[in-house]
Amino acid sequence: MRKASISRKTRETEIDLQLELDSHEDSTIDTEIPFFDHMLTLMAFHARMKVSLKARGDLEVDQHHTVEDVGICLGEALKEAMGGRGGIKRYGWAAAPMDGAGCQRKAAPVLDGGSAAGDCERVRSPAGKGVLQGAGQSSRLDATYQAARRGEPASCP
């Protein structure tokens, strides 16, 4: 089984995350940010991952520390769980328009570096920006995405 366990404690956050790839089990996600919990739960379900996550942060200041650090932990867990990455190829390309919004993304595993690049100005949610950037960098996966607003075409760069 491909699994990872990551803990992170900073002045702003405390995070415990367990990840199991190739799982159909339900995830347990608690960041104290309801919409972020919802999006992470959907991601885990559709990626067939089991995620157990408890994150506490300085929400009285802002959500961004929690979101960024969860992204970093998620990326580190993905990197660890994938191991040597043997046999992993480029994932592909997908468009997922929902309620008039469109976002397209492709990801290619790489051995060095790792980044998330895209049109961050169109991703209005701080949670969306933070988790894309943090997970891309710490997982060492290169990911590009493009978001479109209602009425605008979304195309893969």
Segments making up each domain of the chain, as ranges: 3-148
Out of 26-30, 68-72, 80-84, 110-114, which region has the weakest mean confidence (pLDDT)?
110-114
Q: Find out whether 151 and 119 touch, Cβ atoms under 8 Å.
A: no
More reliable by pLDDT, 131 or 32: 32
pLDDT band at 1 (very low <50, low <70, confident <90, very high): confident
CATH superfamily of this structure's domain 3-148:
Imidazole glycerol phosphate dehydratase; domain 1 (3.30.230.40)
Separation of alpha carbons 79 and 137, rounded Å: 10
What is the model's pTM? 0.66
pLDDT in tens, 43-56: 899 888 999 999 99
pLDDT band at 57 (very low <50, low <70, confident <90, very high): very high
Does the pLDDT of residue 155 top 90, yes or no?
A: no
